[in-house]
Structure 1
Amino acid sequence: MTQAAVAQDTATGGPRVIIIGAGMSGLLMGIRLQQAGITDVEILEKSHKLGGTWRENTYPGIACDIPSHFYSYSFAPNPGWSHWFAPGEEIQAYFERVAADYGLPERIRYNTEGAEARHDGKQWHIRCKDGSTYSADILVAATGVLHHPHSPEIPGLEDFEGACFHSAQWDHSVPLEGRRVGVVGTGSTAAQITSALTPKVARFSLFQRTAQWIFPLPNPEHSGFAKWCFRHLPGIGKLWYHLTRLSFQWSFSRAVLGHNLPHRILSAIARRNLEKSVRDPDLRERLQPDYEPFCKRLIISPDFYDKIQRDNAELVTSPIERVEAGGIRTADGALHQLDVLVMATGFHAQRYVRPMQLINAQGRTLDDAWADGAKALRSVAVPGFPNYFMVAGPYTPVGNYPLISTSEIQVDYIMAFIERFKRGELQQVEAKEDALQSFVRDMDEGAAGTIWRTGGCNSWYLDANGNVTMWPWSFERFQREMQRPQWEEFNVS
């Protein structure tokens, strides 16, 4: 693109930006571009509606594990949250409402999943699975991390005669009342499903490979008076937002950084919760993790232990041997008869924008660049791929901290580049390889003392090589280092 072309685009609201994904971070990117007066923007969304993970996940009991007033855009508070931890349908409705308020739906191209993006030295050219094509000066991947369901390969799964589906692909046509339901997995999703379904079904079987730590935060309903205050006294809502933010920064956010005071206090609460809540010593022993709290994302639930101790519930810890027509056969020889089988087995968190393929002007692919693991400078840029940015990329701080807050910081960081595009001050920006290598070394050294390294577990915070892909320091340091681009880390022309 020539300097004249940049000037022309500026006059018409350019540069041209394509955003991949209309979830929380994609909508945020669209809003910030609009606020900056950049109008040549389209959002490519693979599904039929916006919302990302909150569109995909509709399983019984779904709720956010971050207090709702904090799990909101800082500029778009919602005074009407029903509970401290809002249910999923309220969060989905919130994003739909904010998108409408900012006029984003007209920019979203639904059912348009990107297959390939190729850079020709000047622009990105995107080819979608439906055959449509788009071109852009700047490409932003806002695809999130929890949207590619992971389904384990269990022998005989195709032989099961009941209903079977992943928790992120819940089949609401399947009746559950009075039926025998089995759930494979013990993460946050499985815990929420357990709490929601055990009072409704005839028999509930939870198949556990790895025990999880449960933190017993309550989920009270906001009173009518509280909602009135949030709605009519905006200062109350802002105060509540910042109090919640500070409490998370100084507790859950710090607890993953090592064996510090927040970790000791919160770990003691989680251990005490197990000890006092589970009466049967055998069940308590089977629910006892063999790793440190926070090594995996801590599960927030006020009643999981109560629900798994119901007479109609069973915790199955014998390994799954195979699935049969009537249920699951475990290694101890028992057949657990089921009518419905749910795979609450998580996501492929390390895929990021993939399986969409990125190819630069030299023919190098993103898979080539990430052959030894996904890496991004400052979480947002990859050497060799000019004018390409990521929101919630590798090394984003998400250890029991709201991704919506880190995304706001990353989007503002990306906007510093795009503003210079708009003013005609640059045509192309690309992360330097040596800057990335230095950044990765810092990340690896910083991760050495974190719970992810010392806690004794495997989690989706680690890549296939066992490398920590999370920000290893405090959230305040992330804020400081992301206030503005370190221009010396980028090739700018």
Structure 2
Amino acid sequence: MPKTVVARAIARQRQPRIGIVGAGISGIAAAAALQRAGFGEFTIFEKGSDFGGTWRENSYPGLVCDVPSRYYQFSFAMNPEWSRLYSTGPEIKEYLCRVARERGLDRHTRFGIEVVGAEFSGEDWRVTTSTGDVERFDFLLCATGFLHHPRVPTIPGLAEFTGPVMHSARWDHAVELTGKRVGVIGTGSTGTQLVSALAGQVPKVVLFQRTAQWILPTVNREYTRVAKTVYRRLPTLGRAAYACNRAAFALFSRGLVHPGLTRRFIQWVVARNLGSVRDPELRRQLTPDYQAMCKRLVVSDRFYKAIQRPDVELVTSGIDRVDAHGVVTADGRRHDLDVLVLATGFDAHAFMRPMAITGADGRTLDQAWAEGPRAFEGVMMPDFPNLFMLVGPHSPVANHPLTAVAEAQSARIVGWLRRWRAGEFTTVAPTAAATARYNARMRAAAPSTVWATGCQSWYLGKDGIPELWPWTPGAYEKLIRREPDPADYTVSPSAPAHRVAGRK
């Protein structure tokens, strides 16, 4: 059927008012999916000044993605110009901004506007913004992600430090590090990247380690000019590289959720990599007491080299307090510093909060999540009709590209919007029973995952059970892309009147 005929048919159908909260990876993926499906009218609210989400918020030295560039991208917007095997933060942000602007998403986006609340009226969502405006939408898509609320540790005396103190996600580029002694608190991916970048660039780096990390070795090679030209002229090569990376991650993911050969192989690889640390005592201090991948696996080709430098110090004694001039550890030693960096991660269980969200019959999000975040298939919740989440609770996010997760979830959301546009229903939400069964199955499968093998991480919920999808990402995509089972949802009948897009 000709595209013009399809376009006219869509125009005759009722058009939904769609609000999207967030213009990061998942917001861009959702908006692009809406456009491809013929939903041209939607509003994106972005509290920041540009696209990019966590890649806009984070700009610290040494920032590099731990997923290969040719997989950490949208399947509908392959980039032949990646500079390295693993892209830097600025390069990923530039890519996301380019994808968004090429699709005209800036015309749909209100930057510097934060959504502070949303209430379901019984017919639609009434969204309140930081400017005090209230707007109404038939569907609300929460593309807020989960790595955007920095976690600041409670350390006695932190406010007394006279030098600059900054969280890695709030990097102050006005702070001059030349000639400064820099302390880094935190040893996850961010902490290891910071130490790797700062080593040799400042007189002294002190890394305060609470928990040692397993490091997966890699070589972050540059793509040559010839390679970029070939990828540019042969788009099929880019798609093939994407598919190869996908297959490799599928194999890797089996080790996350099933004991066996893959898990043992990864353990052997990281243990062998640790053997590159020559000093036996330093190697002992860097040896984790848990199984590889129990925490998010750190990928680095530079950290072990950096930590062995004479101008880099590893401190494993716990932090007692901070004073005006440095950090005092539990062994009574004071470490004099000029700058203190908090590489302490995020509140990964906040999701849409602190937005005040109220669903049907006055049920609030805080009430629904009193025992921890819960969702149905990662995208919907009972009692919150026509509200969708992207990269929501229990999504497959452990060392898996969020671009792929967001694309799969966007396809599910578009499927529901098409049904609404065709007049099949007015509101939809999963039933409480279906949501309970879904979460019970995940909890039953969680003990076999590597995240339940005995470590503390942000993957765990209040009850100590991993709050991640406990099967392979491929299994999740198969689930989320299938036709929904009508028995799992409460669907209200369609209103007889058609509505023109944008009408209030």
TM-score of the pair, normalised by structure 2 = 0.94
Which of these residues, 469, 480, 483, is aligned with residue 481 of structure 2? Answer: 483
Alignment partner of 1:491: what SS? Answer: strand
Aligned amino acid, residue 370 of structure 2: A
Q: Secondary structure at the match of 2:135?
A: strand
Mapped contact 1:9–1:15 kept (Cα < 8 A): no
Instruction: List per-residue Cα deviations over 1:84-123 (Å, max 9, x = no partner).
Output: 0010101000011000111100101111111110001000
- 1:259 maps to 259
Aligned to 1:235: 236
Deviations 1:462-485 (A, max 9, x none): 122222111101222112211222
**Within 1, Cα distance between the matches of 2:111 and 2:232?**
33
Task: Identify if the C-alpha distance between structure 1 residues 13 and 30 changes in structure 2 by more than 3 Å, giving closer, same or farther.
Answer: farther
Provide the C-alpha distance between the structure 1 equivalents of 2:74 and 2:266, rounded to a whole number of angstroms: 27
- Report the residue type matching 2:460 in the other structure: L
Matched with 1:363 is 362
1:308-387 to 2 correspondences below 5 Å: 308-387=307-386
Q: Report deviation, 1:487.
A: 2.3
- CA-atom RMSD, angstroms? 1.4
Deviation at 1:13, TM superposition (A): 6.8
The 10-residue stretch of structure 1 (232-241 or 343-352) with the greater mean CA deviation from structure 2: 232-241
CA distance, structure 1, for counterparts of residue 298 and residue 451 of structure 2: 16
One-letter amino acid matched to 1:266: I
CA deviation profile, 1:324-359 (whole Å, cap 9, x unmatched)? 100000011111111110000000000100000111
Q: CA deviation at 1:381?
A: 0.5
| Partner residue, 1:468 | 466
Contact 1:13–1:37 under 8 Å retained in 2: no
Q: The residue matched to 2:153 in structure 1 has which SS? A: coil
Identity, in percent, stands at 46
Question: Any unmatched runs of 5+ in structure 1?
Answer: 1-7
C-alpha distance in structure 2 between counterparts of 1:260 and 1:425, whole Å = 46
| 1:39 CA drift (Å) | 2.2
- 2:172 corresponding residue in structure 1: 171
Runs of 4+ in 1 over 3 A off after TM superposition: 8-13
Structure 2 counterpart of 1:288: 287
| Residue type of the alignment partner of 2:234 | L
Equivalent runs, 1:400-419 vs 2, <5 Å = 400-419=399-418
Structure 1 residues 157-180: Cα deviation after superposition (integer angstroms, max 9, x where no partner): 110000101000000011112210
- Point out the more displaced range, 38-47 or 146-155: 38-47
- The residue that corresponds to 2:270 in the other structure is 270
- Give, in whole Å, the separation in 1 of the partners of 2:296 and 2:46: 28
Determine if contact 2:180/2:338 at 8 Å carries over to the other structure. Answer: yes
- Cα distance in 1 for partners of 2:461, 2:216 equals 26
For 1:417 and 1:443, the matched residues in 2 are separated by 24
- How many residue pairs are counted as aligned between the two chains? 484
Q: What residue identity is the alignment partner of 1:274?
A: L
**1:3 paired residue number:** none
Shift of 1:9: 10
TM-score of the superposed pair, with normalisation by structure 1: 0.96
| Whole-angstrom distance in 2 between the partners of 1:405 and 1:86 | 17
Q: How does 1:402-481 map to 2 (within 5 A)?
A: 402-454=401-453, 456-481=454-479
Q: Which deviations, in whole Å up to 9, do the C-alpha atoms of 1:169-199 show, x marking residues without a partner?
A: 0000111122100000000011111110012
**How far, CA to CA, are the matches of 1:475 and 1:27 in structure 2?**
21
2:421 maps to a residue whose letter is K
Contact (CA 8 Å) 2:373, 2:393: kept in 1 or not?
A: yes
Counterpart residue type for residue 474 of structure 1: T
- Aligned residue identity for 2:41: D
Q: Distance in 2 between matches of 1:83 and 1:453?
A: 34
Task: Point out the more displaced range, 351-360 or 465-474.
Answer: 465-474
Output the CA distance in 1 between the equivalents of 2:11 and 2:230. 43
Cα gap change, 1:396 to 1:390, in 2 (>3 Å): same
AA aligned opposite 1:273: N
SS at structure 2 position matched to 1:118: strand
Distance 1:222 1:477, change over 3 A: same
Work out whether 1:245 is the aligned partner of 2:262. no
- Kindly indicate whether residue 161 of structure 2 is the aligned counterpart of residue 160 of structure 1: yes
The alpha-carbon deviation at position 284 of structure 1 amounts to: 0.7
Q: Name 1:83's counterpart in structure 2.
A: 84
Q: Secondary structure of the residue that 2:314 maps to in structure 1?
A: strand
Deviation at residue 10 of structure 1 after TM alignment: 5.9
Q: Which amino acid aligns with 2:212?
A: A
Q: Deviations over 1:250-274 (max 9, x none)?
A: 12x1221132111111110001110
* 2:13 and 2:422 in contact (8 A); partners too: no
Q: Give the Cα–Cα distance (whole angstroms) in 2 for the partners of residues 312 and 460 of structure 1.
A: 31
Gaps of 5+ in 2: 1-8, 493-504
- Rounded Cα–Cα distance in structure 1 between residues aligned with 2:486 and 2:315: 54
2:192 pairs with 1:188: no
Equivalence map 1:24-103=2 (5 Å) = 24-103=25-104
SS where residue 396 of structure 1 aligns?
Answer: coil
Evaluate the alpha carbon distance shift between residue 360 and residue 459 of structure 1 in structure 2; reply closer, same or farther with a 3 A threshold.
same
Query: Which residue does 2:498 correspond to in 1?
Result: none
Q: Secondary structure at the match of 1:267?
A: helix
Contact residue 10 and residue 424 of structure 1 kept, 8 A: no
Alignment partner of 1:448: what SS?
helix
The residue type paired with residue 291 of structure 1 is: Y
**Alpha-carbon offset, residue 36 of structure 1:** 1.3
> What letter corresponds to residue 74 of structure 2 in structure 1?
Y
Q: 1:238 to 1:354 in 2, by over 3 A?
A: same
Asked whether the equivalents of residues 327 and 339 of structure 1 are also in contact (C-alpha less than 8 Å), the reply is: yes
Equivalent in the alignment of 1:5 = none
Please state how far the C-alpha of 1:12 moved relative to its aligned partner.
7.7
Give SS of 2:257's match: coil
3-state SS of 2:328 partner: strand
Which residue number in structure 2 is paired with residue 137 of structure 1? 138
1:395-418: CA deviation from partner (whole Å, max 9, x where unpaired): 101111111111111110111101
Partner of 2:500: none
CA contact 2:379–2:389 (8 Å) conserved in 1: yes
- For 1:126 and 1:145, the matched residues in 2 are separated by 21
1:11 Cα deviation after fit: 3.9
- CA-to-aligned-CA distance 1:110-168 (integer Å, 9 cap, x gap): 11111110001000001112212221000010000100000001000110000101000
